[in-house]
Amino acid sequence: MSLQKEFIDILRCPKRACRGDLAESGDLLKCKICDDEYPVKDGIPILFPNSAQSPDIHQRHWDLKDNAQSYAKKYDTYLKKQGNPWGQYTHISELNVIKKLKVKLGIDLSKKIILDLGCGNGRLLSDYPEGGQKIGLDASLYLLQATKAREPGYWLVCGQVEDLPFKDAISDFTVSIRVFQHLRAQEQTFAEMVRVTRPSGHVVVEAYNKLNLKELYKRFRMLPRMQKWNPWGLAYDRYNSYREFEKLSRKNFIRTQGYAGAGWGFHFYLFDIIKFRRFAPDAVQKTVFNISYFFDDLVGAWPFFSKTMEKIVYIGSVQRGAEEVSFSDKIQNKFRAKISLKRAENFKNILENRNYALAGNDRQHLERTLNWLKAAQDATSDGGVSRGFSLFWDRKFRKSGWQPSYPETTGYIIPTVIFAAKILNDKDLLRRAKLMADWELALMNKDGWIQAGNIAKNPKPEVFDTGQVIRGLLAAYGAFEEAKYKDAALRAGNWMVGNNFQPLSYYAYAAAPLAELGVKFGKDEYKQFGIKIGNSVIKKQNQKGWYEGADFKQFEGSLLHTIAYTIDGMWDLGEVLCKQEFMNSAKKALDGVLSVMDERGFVPGRLDKEWKGTVEWACLTGIAQIGVTAIKAYKKYGDKKYLECAERAKEYLKVCQNNLDPEFGGLGAIWGSWPISGGYEPYQALNWPVKYFADLLMDLHELN
């Protein structure tokens, strides 16, 4: 076996319960996690999940040897501009409509990675000579062998589109042509396409259109009586409409960029009846199809025809371009927003009235918290963790419910999940942590930075977010001992120290993991960066311990969440760099916050320069963070007031965690504010308060 290392590096175990890295093992590929082995034939990895339990995996009609060889021969003639007029017209119209829409949207594929799912003989890949690496996947090994003989430079994989054996974010342009109608798991396939596509890349599906008269003809032909007289040829054949692609887009946090149509449909049911393709001379057929293609090309991208022709082409992207939103969708969205807000207010009242009574012991809350984090990861198609769950219709995401993955917070969730895996002896948590870390690697810019905000935003470098991902990569390196995590962390560290920016106080929380990286790997410039940040933060601290610039924006009073970032960052900088003055600064501010914590564990969500609350709602993330730092202070000084405050914070959060209803954000959810309509991220259950509550519970568990 001789596969390029770069090729193996993009592959992974196709089993959804595993998804481990693959490595060469003789003439096989072997999963590093589950130890399953996968054959390689003629340079083509054969990667089907649980193939031993599915011996008929190749027995679909188009995968059988005779059928596959027939398809390969037919499409090869089309590539040479030969073959029957009907087939040639279909081939050209299917490929050119994608090209036309690509040009209209200004998509440049020069040197980009193109992935064709259900690639057959690789006809689409051959149609983009300007592209970089060409990757094809098909369920038919015979078709792939024919492709490999013609194009030995392509990376070809035998597998199924519902369970792609690729890592996250490997492709710039992921295409599937006329495959969806054969699939019973279309939703999973679309999610997989989004997962393997870079956020800046494009997902393209060409499918038979449900909003075309051919759909009615197909249903008629598939009636049992008609099947006996004139079989349709397929026992299962599911067409799609643009409405279905809109739903799939919303579910997978992808923006629709455009539609186009190809073919007219009547060619099939009308010409089939009069046996046009059998008896009409080629010259007549060519004339008819040339006229048809002329109108295809002329009107295929017009709003009406783009959604009603025989085949519909959809292009979407997580980050790129303006989104197509119809007038009717805009009206519907307004109604959805109003209805969802009423439901959210209803749930708020129920939650406040009943939730407190369902608080349990620490173990129950820890398990509930970690199950929520698992659900948040599963809610996205990639390895990241969803930003959170919104009870109201959010215009940014065009939906209520789960939101896209968040690189920054996924970064600092990794250490939490690894810590929990050890406490609970849960191997699934370790597997999930590795998926998170690998996703971060896939997203990292070549210069080392991580984008700010959720994955749906256009990428912009951010020092703070990059620092949080270093936390995750350090934890992953410690848990899995793979050099790729250390190398990525060092690349991120080099970018951070080379970045000229004016830090706010809470950037101490980003400097701390960089300083730790410096200590572990002998990088003095990282340690100096931490010292520089720590000294600048001390200068912003007043006599009572309050920090200037410990907030995202200027308000009356700083947000407890960012105050806690600053305190914990300064504490860790002091500990890592052996700088007592940094720890003293953190302790002074911590004492200021704890002075306003009441007997329940409540702290106002915003605090002014005198440590007085300026709002009546609580910031739950901040309370959890303060509890975590209080435990650090207890361990160092032995003062029980810190332990008591951490216990109070824990009990308060138990009462605020969703113990009531699995529907609204899920059991274990923790909101931005309490009440949930408060001023910080109202009506949203976020991943970061859950992360810090898990940390608090586990830190207290370790003390017992």
pLDDT of residue 480: 96
Question: Is residue 333's pLDDT more than 80?
Answer: no
In this prediction, residue 512 has a pLDDT band, given cuts at 50, 70 and 90, of very high
Let me know if residue 340 belongs to a domain.
no
Are residues 670 and 690 in contact, defined by beta-carbon separation less than 8 angstroms? yes
Closest CA to 589 of 575, 569, 605, 619: 569
Residue 551: CB atoms within 10 Å: 21
Residues 302 and 403 in one domain: no
Q: In terms of DSSP H, where are the helices of 151-230? A: 186-196, 213-221, 224-229
Measured CA to CA in angstroms, residue 288 lies from 95, 267, 400 at distances of 19, 10, 48
Residues 287 and 373 in one domain: no
Q: In the block, which residue shows the tokens 């299917």?
A: 94
Share of residues in the chain with pLDDT > 70 (%): 95
CATH number at residue 242: 3.40.50.150
CB burial readout 297-316, b (16+ within 10 A) else e = eeebbeeebbbbbbbbbbbb
**Structure tokens that stand for 560 in this block:** 């407890």
DSSP-assigned letter for residue 459: P
pLDDT of residue 203: 98
Residue 262 has φ and ψ, to the nearest 5°, of -140, 140
Q: In the block, which residue shows the tokens 């980050």?
A: 319
The tally of domains found in the chain comes to: 3
pLDDT of residue 57: 62
Question: Is residue 278's pLDDT more than 80?
Answer: no
> How far is 120 from 587, CA to CA, in rounded Å?
64
Model confidence over 513-538: pLDDT tens digits? Answer: 999 999 999 999 999 999 999 999 99
Average of per-residue pLDDT across 179-200? 96
Question: Is residue 358's pLDDT more than 80?
Answer: yes
Question: Is residue 335's pLDDT more than 90?
Answer: no
Residues 494 and 640 in one domain: yes
Residues 44 and 66 in one domain: no
Q: Cα 239 from chain centroid?
A: 27
Let me know if residue 351 belongs to a domain.
no
pLDDT of residue 7: 97
pLDDT of residue 573: 98
**Pair type for strands 171-177 and 673-674:** unpaired
Question: Is residue 275's pLDDT more than 90?
Answer: no
DSSP string across 558-582? EEHHHHHHHHHHHHHHHHHHT-HHH
Average of per-residue pLDDT across 47-65? 70
Say which residue, 282 or 146, is predicted with more confidence. Answer: 146
| Mean model confidence pLDDT for the chain | 91
Residues 35 and 113 in one domain: no
Model confidence over 622-671: pLDDT tens digits? Answer: 999 999 999 999 999 999 999 999 999 999 999 999 999 888 889 999 99
Return the amino acid letter for 477. Y
Return the amino acid letter for 454. N
Average of per-residue pLDDT across 87-106? 90
Question: Is residue 348's pLDDT more than 60?
Answer: yes
Average of per-residue pLDDT across 333-346? 81
Model confidence over 210-269: pLDDT tens digits? Answer: 999 999 988 988 898 888 888 888 888 999 999 999 999 999 999 999 999 999 877 777
CATH number at residue 539: 1.50.10.10
Closest CA to 255 of 170, 197, 177: 197
Residues 44 and 161 in one domain: no
Edge-first strand order for the sheet with 44-45 is: 22-25, 28-31, 37-41, 44-45
Return the amino acid letter for 208. Y
pLDDT of residue 231: 84
Residues 506 and 592 in one domain: yes
In this prediction, residue 474 has a pLDDT band, given cuts at 50, 70 and 90, of very high
Residue 131: CB atoms within 10 Å: 16
Measured CA to CA in angstroms, residue 68 lies from 146, 180, 183, 392, 552 at distances of 9, 18, 18, 49, 59
> How far is 39 from 30, CA to CA, in rounded Å?
9
Q: 513 preceded by cis ω (within 30°)?
A: no
Residues 494 and 452 in one domain: yes
Are residues 518 and 530 in contact, defined by beta-carbon separation less than 8 angstroms? yes
Let me know if residue 663 belongs to a domain.
yes
> How far is 244 from 381, CA to CA, in rounded Å?
17
pLDDT of residue 324: 63
Model confidence over 114-145: pLDDT tens digits? Answer: 999 999 889 999 999 999 999 999 999 989 99
Residues 573 and 611 in one domain: yes
137 bridge partner residues: 117, 157
Average of per-residue pLDDT across 47-69? 70
In this prediction, residue 196 has a pLDDT band, given cuts at 50, 70 and 90, of very high
pLDDT of residue 392: 87
DSSP string across 51-66? GGG-TTTT-SGGGSHH
Residue 33: strand, helix, or coil: coil
Residue 136 has φ and ψ, to the nearest 5°, of -130, 140
Say which residue, 323 or 443, is predicted with more confidence. Answer: 443
pLDDT of residue 62: 54
Average of per-residue pLDDT across 45-49? 94
Looking at 36, 56, 76, the residue that finishes a domain is: 56
Domain boundaries, position 634: 361-703
